[in-house]
Structure 1
């Protein structure tokens, strides 16, 4: 049977202020994401890059315990000795941690013990928030960082669960609920919209929450360019495959071609061998040729762009095109749980949601970048090597988590995340 959250006084009855309300909303969302799971589903790790759902639930609680309750909570007593080792992810400054590829071996603590750990952390966080002013310059930034950190893990939970279920020969569905009803949409031909070049500013100002890798705002030179008005579809990628795309070295970067041959790639991750279906969070579904192609590596995205006589956008080009747009789209709150067709509206479409969009930009520091002080400086800065930037969010990204300046980053061979392609061209 599914794990049950330990009984407690409804948290909404003791919320002292808006920051606490958002804290609880974010924390409850993580548990809600796990509600379709059975106990056995919480524990298994399907590959080294993925983590069990139980570990995600515990690690996000460890984050609040480690960076807020231990240093700021008066008289706080940790829930259980040893959790600081089991649920540390990569913070070397904090101390040693359990090996990432072996998280699926942790049958103990149990799922209910992890949920009790969350309840313990929540109760003490609410006391801390009630005891201090919401605008406390020491407290508020850490709480907001912790909430956004948890939202990152909410997306990871869904992508990791999808990968886990795909490894089961029965191809079980995470969600048995039908997708919300919506208009039937198709995708017309890609139209390239032009944008002026010049010396422009990108990056976050720091006036509102952002991660440190989004700062500082700075000037950059951009040549005139064009962006596709929508994402590349399954149908368009199918044409690439049928034209021998995975067998023609001329479209591939050297590392990409080596990876294709080493891994035996011949189609996007989760597509059926017959190229007529794909595995989704609602189980195996017919391939929608009008929906955005997803679960592509950077190598595949780049090869397709070359085949299409285009290229991938830079992150500066993407951000400048998106900066005036509202954050609307097929995000987690839509409950579609898969990319959807763009439709026939005018202008840029699908800039937020559906799939993270690979850019041609290496993940590195902006001019003048300074990581956060102390252990939290390990959050983003130490990964600025050998990864590429993605923009825009996906169909499993919380809507209040993403923004035009947000920089996601992954290694070029990664495929299990909701990653896709928007084309760009020089003018």
Structure 2
């Protein structure tokens, strides 16, 4: 597949994700972490326009100079921007104009890709591909939050990702021998800069669950008063629980004594065999404490990942998001991509059912603040 074909494939997929939406759905921003779908479509387009076309295509004319303010996310180097909480207040540009913007940039990108690329430009292009794939997952999770917090619980689509056909739930533990292991990306294909700096770590002997935690297993924790017993929680997690009146995973609802959940296919009875999802690190830690287990470190997860099936849920680890040895931020705006976030966040490993195809690998380091749970996050236990 040529770079132009790959570009079109990725760009088309973002628009396919949005096909089931009503126009009104494109604008909603219920919380700061959830961006309006139309903003994702504009931001990913702005990325290619700003970092590829403006920088490397002679004579390129930007579609609208004001979009640099509207669609910049967090790049201080690029200039001022609409603050994140205000993205949902922008009725304009409208959805139609954003699709016109995408078409304008796509046409220019295809012209640009007719010529050979320098190594630096191709690396930026691959970053752009992966950046848009990250936003494809965010599109799905943000759409789920938007629709899942609508009192009508409208379905996004009747046939949709989010569920596994395989019953899970047994607690078989896989033993991993003590030893010195190498951690980090070791290849020639694309990876993010936070995966680089391959290095050795010593791991004592440990064991890790062959399966993700199921809804049925987590329900045991709920029924045993897990959300009412401070003993299982970090102090910060306990404060979060009380201040936000948390008593179950996100999207769980107790209706006439029966648990239901909102899925992208609509409001449904809770499937007890499904992998648990939409829990915070605080909840993951509390469950592990209750179960007399723990969460794996990201290094343990990476070493053990070849021994179990992964990719259905982003899996919380006990590791803080920190740089690997020798990490250094790239100069300019691209250096703001990962390094500036290496504080007060936890690492998640794996991928989820919302992750785009060919956008996962064992060394991938996702990261979120410990209270967040709108992504497809789950739990795998270790001891």
1:148 matched to 2:106? The reply is no
Match of residue 308 from structure 2: 348
CA distance in 2, matches of 1:348, 1:178: 24
After superposition, where does 1:92-241 map in structure 2 within 5 Å? 92-133=76-117, 136-177=118-159, 185-205=166-186, 207-241=188-222
Tell me, what secondary structure is at the counterpart of 1:138? helix
| Residues 234 and 290, structure 1, Cα contact 8 Å, conserved in 2 | yes
Gaps of 5+ in 2: none
Instruction: Check conservation: 2:293, 2:381, Cα contact below 8 A.
Output: yes
1:268 and 2:268 correspond: no
| TM-score (structure 2 length as normaliser) | 0.97
Helix, strand or coil: the match of 1:150? helix
Residue aligning to 2:353: 395
1:70 maps to 2:54: yes
CA deviations 1:346-377 (Å, max 9, x no partner) are x623x12x210000000010111112221111
Name the CA distance, whole Å, in 1 between partners of 2:318 and 2:161.
Answer: 33
The Cα shift of 1:178 comes to: 7.0
The normalised TM-score by structure 1 is 0.87
In structure 1, C-alpha distance between the alignment counterparts of 2:236 and 2:16, rounded to whole Å: 40
Check 1:198–1:158 CA distance in 2 against 1; reply closer, same or farther (3 A cut).
same
Paired residues in the alignment total 381
CA distance in structure 1 between the aligned counterparts of 2:296 and 2:35, rounded to whole angstroms:
31
Q: Distance in 2 between matches of 1:181 and 1:240?
A: 22
Q: Distance in 2 between matches of 1:94 and 1:57?
A: 19
Kindly indicate whether the alpha-carbon contact (under 8 Å) linking 2:226 and 2:232 is maintained by their aligned counterparts in 1. Answer: yes
Cα distance, 1:206 vs. partner?
A: 5.2
Q: Contact 2:279–2:373 at 8 Å: present in 1 too?
A: yes
* CA displacement, residues 108-153 of structure 1 (integer Å, 9 cap, x when unaligned): 11101100111111111111111124xx302110010001000000
> Which position in structure 1 is the counterpart of 2:336?
378
Q: After the TM superposition, list the runs of 4 or more consecutive aligned residues in structure 1 that deviate by more than 6 angstroms.
A: 178-182
Residue 40 of structure 1 aligns to a residue in which SS?
Answer: helix
Deviation at 1:316, TM superposition (A): 0.4
The Cα shift of 1:205 comes to: 2.6
Paired residue secondary structure (1:89):
coil
Q: 2:281 aligned with 1:298, yes or no?
A: yes
Q: 1:35 to 1:20 in 2, by over 3 A?
A: same
- CA contact 2:319–2:346 (8 Å) conserved in 1: yes
2:100 and 2:245 map into 1 onto residues whose CA distance is 44
For residue 44 of structure 1, the aligned residue among 28, 45, 57 is 28
Gaps of 5+ in 1: 1-16, 326-346
Q: 1:32 maps to what in 2?
A: 16
Kindly report the root-mean-square deviation, in angstroms, between the aligned alpha carbons of the 2 structures: 1.6
Cα deviation for residue 186 of structure 1 reads: 2.4
| Cα displacement (A) at 1:181 | 11
- In structure 1, what is the equivalent of residue 2 of structure 2? 18
